[in-house]
Structure 1
Amino acid sequence: MTTSERASALTEMRELDSAALYRLLTWLSPAFPIGGFSYSSGIEWAVEAGDIADAASFRDWLSTMLTHGGGFCDAVFLAHTHRAVEQGNMEALGEIADLAAAFVPSRERQLETASQGRAFIEIARSAWSSPDLDDAVARCKTVVYPVAVGLVGALHDVPLTPLLHGFLHAVTSNWISAGSRLVPLGQTDSQRVLAALEPVVAATADRALVASLDDLGSATFRADLASLRHETQYTRLFRS
């Protein structure tokens, strides 16, 4: 990020008012009922295959997912969705939503992100009504999770920078929750992994804030393979 872009992001963080902060913490809390605990994003197969065996290998796996995989891509989709809604550009919103829905590498990942996106929209509609929500959703054929968060956040005046950091923290925390049950990891090791990923999450958010849709792309072939092979895994605790 340039100096001016970083200054703008810091201003957004300071301008997060109490109502927006309350909603941000609620929407991205593990207790928000979108069913995230049911999905592992292929981590379950990676553990069975031996790719993830301990805290160190798990940290490396998640760091790659954030930097070169779904973490970065979802962050870019969230950022562009938020800006499109803020600008009232519903045509762009529909195009972003279509691209985000097409960008997942497997059937189970599609189930994961689409199911969480629908749940996020429905709960937000029920508890935090917005007169423009139905119209915005109607412009999208499918609302996947990062698009849902960006859309609702913009409609409720949650600034993009804290929303993006909160989203990446929530996604990472959910991955770690899955890993803690699969590896398994104790509570202390789980928190050590989360702490070690703090600069990775921050760097990913910074990249996503200035990325264009042309910058989208991933190189997490083993993670994509894990997601595909999980579909036929014999014993499963998770849906993905």
Structure 2
Amino acid sequence: MPTDLLRLVQWLSPAFPTGSYAYSHGMEQAITDGAVHDAASAGAWIGDVLRFGAGWSDAVMLVHAHGGADLRDLARALAPSAERMRETEEQGAAFAATVSALGRDVGPQPLPLAVGIAARGLDVPLREVVALYLHAFAANLAACATRFVPLGQTQGQALLQALHPIIADLAARAETAPLGAIASASIAGDLAAMRHETLEVRIFKT
């Protein structure tokens, strides 16, 4: 197995110190509201975020950042709430700091841009970079649902496995998508993230 692929898997592992476990991307609010209450509703929620929300936008931006585009302003403009901005910037800064300490110079960037820049020199197909990024994103949300819906561990893994076709399709399309293909229609997720900012009792930062 190529060492570059192992390096990418390490970067996108839950053990990599980006603090991803502290962010629910608004799912904590959806669980509190009852919109996410079992494996089926959690899978539908995450699938919609991937296809119609930050998953797709992040994938396209990662591709273009990998190609050399400076998209920091665009990435910040696409954040629909203060918490979403904090989520992408804090994780991106933590990712960049650790990757840089490991020998890959990456300045603080919103997370998808930092991953795209860091992956430029890897001998890994771009589609695989995007797929692994989206898988890490989905896995973090599946872990949130597993702990706080709560779901059983097997249910959580089955939920994540069911998202694999969506992830593969998004990665394939994002690989050749122009920046103009970025769009978002994850309105319920965006509203949940906004409302989470005033949730009085919460576990997650977002």
Same fold (TM over 0.5): yes
Equivalent of residue 161 in structure 1, options 116, 121, 127: 127
2:93/2:111 contact within 8 Å kept: yes
Deviations 1:98-122 (CA, angstroms, capped at 9, x unpaired): 2112211110111111001001111
Letter in 2 for 1:239: K
Alignment of 1:170 onto 2:136: yes
User: What is the CA-CA distance between 1:157 and the residue it aligns to?
Assistant: 4.3
Partners of 1:199 and 1:206 in 2: CA distance:
11
Partners of 1:21 and 1:202 in 2: CA distance:
17
2:93/2:110 contact within 8 Å kept: yes
**Corresponding residue for residue 42 of structure 2:** 58
User: What is the CA-CA distance between 1:63 and the residue it aligns to?
Assistant: 0.9
Equivalent of residue 72 in structure 1, options 56, 65, 84: 56
Alignment of 1:224 onto 2:190: yes
1:101/1:143 contact within 8 Å kept: no
Alignment of 1:234 onto 2:193: no
Partners of 2:109 and 2:62 in 1: CA distance:
11
Equivalent of residue 180 in structure 1, options 139, 142, 146: 146
Partners of 2:82 and 2:205 in 1: CA distance:
11
**Corresponding residue for residue 13 of structure 1:** none
User: What is the CA-CA distance between 1:208 and the residue it aligns to?
Assistant: 1.0
Deviations 1:40-74 (CA, angstroms, capped at 9, x unpaired): 00000001111111000111111111111110000
Partners of 1:157 and 1:195 in 2: CA distance:
26
Q: Which runs of 5+ in 1 are unaligned?
A: 1-16, 85-92
**Corresponding residue for residue 147 of structure 1:** 113
Partners of 1:195 and 1:157 in 2: CA distance:
26
1:51/1:57 contact within 8 Å kept: yes
**Corresponding residue for residue 113 of structure 1:** 88
RMSD value over aligned CA atoms? 1.3
Partners of 2:25 and 2:122 in 1: CA distance:
29
Larger Rg: 1
Partners of 2:54 and 2:64 in 1: CA distance:
15
SS in 2 for 1:120: helix
**Corresponding residue for residue 49 of structure 1:** 33
Letter in 2 for 1:45: Q
User: What is the CA-CA distance between 1:76 and the residue it aligns to?
Assistant: 0.4
Partners of 1:117 and 1:158 in 2: CA distance:
21
Partners of 1:147 and 1:18 in 2: CA distance:
23
Partners of 1:74 and 1:56 in 2: CA distance:
24
